A = this chain, B = another copy of it.
């Protein structure tokens, strides 16, 4: 039987900080800043950030990459007794990957009103009809996870404005 890992507030803060650091790495690479970490026995077994543009892979979201890295590190597709920390509410694909990998608990940062599939649009991780259910802790340092995204898209909009202005000069 899979255990649901529990954490102190300090541990939750720490692991989310590592995920936030991953998100910042994504921003530095011009990727939408989202980061994820997978923890087992209080150790980080995988960390990843969004790589969609660099790899031109539709699937290269932080959570999916972290799950694959954890599968690799633990040599098992089953991620029982682990916890996933991610800076943004997972999308449909990542929620499905979390279920498929049997991750028992997820801590996430900012809500995603447009695409979030664990709370906002759907509550896929808590569907009684599926063969696996996940405990979800929403809005963990969500302001910080959300601020990274707002800054990123703000910079893109400002850049576009500058480009438009220089074209009209």
Could you say which of B56, B59, B78 contacts A100, with CB atoms under 8 Å apart? Answer: B59
Tell me if A's interface is mostly helix, strand, loop or mixed.
loop
With contacts A92-B92, A121-B130 known, what are 11 further pairs, Cβ within 8 A? A52-B77, A56-B71, A57-B68, A92-B93, A93-B93, A93-B94, A93-B100, A94-B96, A114-B131, A121-B127, A122-B122
Provide a sorted-by-A list of 22 A–B residue pairs whose CB atoms are within 8 angstroms.
Answer: A52-B77, A55-B71, A57-B72, A58-B68, A58-B78, A58-B100, A58-B102, A59-B59, A59-B101, A60-B77, A61-B100, A91-B100, A92-B95, A92-B96, A92-B99, A92-B117, A93-B93, A94-B96, A96-B117, A114-B131, A121-B127, A121-B130
- Interface size of A by Cβ–Cβ distance < 8 Å? 40
**Complex contacts, A71 vs chain B, CB 8 Å:** 55-59
Cα–Cα, bound, A60→B92 (Å)? 16
Give min CB distance, A105 to chain B, whole Å. 16
Interface residues of A (CB under 8 A from B): 52-53, 55-61, 64, 67-68, 71-72, 75-79, 91-97, 99-102, 114-115, 117, 121-122, 124, 127, 129-131
Could you say which of B58, B60, B97 contacts A58, with CB atoms under 8 Å apart? Answer: B97
Contact A115 B91 (CB under 8 A): no
**Complex contacts, A117 vs chain B, CB 8 Å:** 92, 96
Contact A58 B52 (CB under 8 A): no
- What are the 5 A-B residue pairs with the smallest beta carbon separation, nearest first? A93-B96, A92-B96, A58-B101, A58-B77, A58-B100
